[in-house]
Amino acid sequence: MKTSAIQIERNRPARRNGAGAPDVVIREACDRDGIVLGHLVASHDGTPEGIVAAARRATQRMFDAFADACNVNSRIIATDGSGRPRWRVSPNLAVIEELAAT
């Protein structure tokens, strides 16, 4: 699998309870072929407005860092206060969908 030399945010080791960083939006930057270029992380305050604002910041950083980034192929996930993935954000930032509890 081909990846870019630029890695904005390296994958962090999972916490003891399996959770990641709390209250962050993670933008997985991918190109048109679905190749992962890097990950961008931005903090949010837990509100829908805060999640969208953080996703907007991460998206701007994605396009600044990766000329080949494809908005539609680049996923956006937001974690809750415990660090677990809780919401999926649409590429156009118009829809925040709660993920099914596992």
Distance (Å, whole) CA 100 – CA 10: 26
Range of the domain at 52: 24-98
Report residue 50's pLDDT band, with 50, 70 and 90 as the boundaries: very high
Contact predicate 24/80, CB 8 Å:
no
Domain assignment of residue 64, yes or no? yes
Is 5 within the bounds of a domain? no
Specify if 47 maps to a domain: yes
The two three-digit tokens of residue 25, written as one number? 């939006």
The total number of structural domains in the chain stands at 1
30 falls within a domain: yes
Give the pLDDT band of residue 13 (cuts 50, 70, 90).
Answer: very low
Residue 13 lies in a domain: no
List of residues 6+ apart from 96 with CB closer than 8 A: 48, 51, 52, 78, 87, 88, 89, 90
**Cβ neighbours for 102, distance < 8 A, ≥ 6 positions apart:** none
Instruction: Flag whether 2 is in a domain.
Output: no
Q: Give me 76's structure tokens.
A: 């956006």
In the predicted model, is pLDDT for residue 30 greater than 80? yes
pLDDT digits (tens, 9 = 90+) for 54-98: 999 999 999 999 999 999 999 999 999 999 999 999 999 999 999
Q: Kindly state whether residue 17 falls inside one of the protein's structural domains.
A: no
Decide if 43 is inside a domain. yes
